[in-house]
Amino acid sequence: MKKRGMGRYIFLALIAPGVLFITVFMLIPLFWVILSTFQEGGSFSLNNYISLLDSVYFRQVFGRSVRLSLLSTGLCALLGFPAAYYISRYSRHKGMMMALAIFPMFTSPVIRSFSWMVILGRKGIVNQALVGLGLFARPQSLLYNEFSMTVGFVQLFLPQMILSLLGVMDAIPTDLTEAAGSLGATRLVAFLRIVFPLSVSGLVTGAVLVFTGCMTAYTTPQLLGATDTQVLSTMVYQYAMSLRDWAQASAVAMVMIVVTLAVSTLFNRLSRRINPLAA
């Protein structure tokens, strides 16, 4: 009994610093931000939100943010699934392959955006190849638009998707796909019916990570986008730093939080429908 009591104190002592840190530097400021968005001139008001929703420009930015984040999440899932499956099933040099997959995470997003500028620029290798192959007469503008932003997002967050998927796929015994094969399933069918549903929990984790990452990323849309391709995170910066409108900035931040939470919940719902045992 006594020992148990001791354990309790040690447990509290261990989690206290973390809880304290999060409370002081995250929960209290967040609460303040939430509160401030519902105020105007010292009294309760929804004006911050009403003016946002009224603005066509905001609705455009909002739509672009969600659209690009969903698109990037989808692309990461599409690219990440085969990669993770290959690494978990067939790769002999698993450690090596994993290191390669997550290697981009060791580079700063700023540097990665700059490399895309080099690659996608008018004199970059992509344009040189397109013109050289005679597909286009003149270099195309591949930079500072939604295309380059999506490319940047996908490259930025693909490792997270692969790691999340790898985590669950490694736990699927090879017996299961072999059993499916002996029952008449081709490799593709075995993948779709066994591996895919059992990987859904990893897919959801990855999708939430990628989606939140895309929604909140700042450097990538700032460096690879333009003024006419603003997203919510760059808009927050603009309101706060350029326009000094902290109330509007906070309201936009709130919208970001709500959207992120809503979409994460949606992903979880979907996963439960595919595989009732996942998560």
Q: What's the closest the beta carbon of residue 201 comes to other proteins, in angstroms?
A: 10
Instruction: Dump the DSSP string for 73-120.
Output: HHHHHHHHHHHHHHHHHT-SSHHHHHHHHHGGGGS-HHHHHHHHHHHH
Q: Which stretch binds other proteins (CB under 8 A): 49-57, 192-200, 231-239, 260-268?
A: 192-200
Residue corresponding to tokens 């067939």: 90
Instruction: List, in sequence order, the alpha helices (H) in the chain.
Output: 2-22, 28-37, 47-54, 56-89, 94-102, 109-120, 125-132, 146-169, 174-182, 187-190, 196-216, 219-224, 232-237, 246-274
Q: Which of 70, 176, 257, 266 binds other proteins (CB under 8 A)?
A: 176
CA 23 from chain centre, in angstroms, equals 25
Which backbone phi and psi does 245 adopt, to 5 degrees? Answer: -100, 85
Residue 80 CA to residue 82 CA, distance in Å, equals 6
Binding residues for other proteins restricted to 246-275, rule: CB under 8 A = 275
Q: Which residues contact 8 (CB under 8 A, 6 or more apart)?
A: none
Residue 183 CA to residue 81 CA, distance in Å, equals 24
Q: Which of 108, 183, 242, 244 binds other proteins (CB under 8 A)?
A: 183
Q: What's the closest the beta carbon of residue 200 comes to other proteins, in angstroms?
A: 9
Q: What's the closest the beta carbon of residue 51 comes to other proteins, in angstroms?
A: 48
Q: Which stretch binds other proteins (CB under 8 A): 65-73, 97-105, 121-129, 180-188?
A: 180-188
Task: Pick between residue 52 and residue 195 the one whose CB is nearest to other proteins.
Answer: 195
Q: Which of 182, 227, 241, 242 binds other proteins (CB under 8 A)?
A: 182
Q: Which residues contact 184 (CB under 8 A, 6 or more apart)?
A: none
Task: Pick between residue 54 and residue 175 the one whose CB is nearest to other proteins.
Answer: 175
Q: Which of 197, 240, 264, 272 binds other proteins (CB under 8 A)?
A: 197
Q: Which of 23, 51, 128, 186 binds other proteins (CB under 8 A)?
A: 186
Q: Which of 98, 101, 198, 259 binds other proteins (CB under 8 A)?
A: 198
Report the interface residues with other proteins, using CB under 8 A. 173, 175-176, 178-186, 189, 193-194, 197-198, 275-278
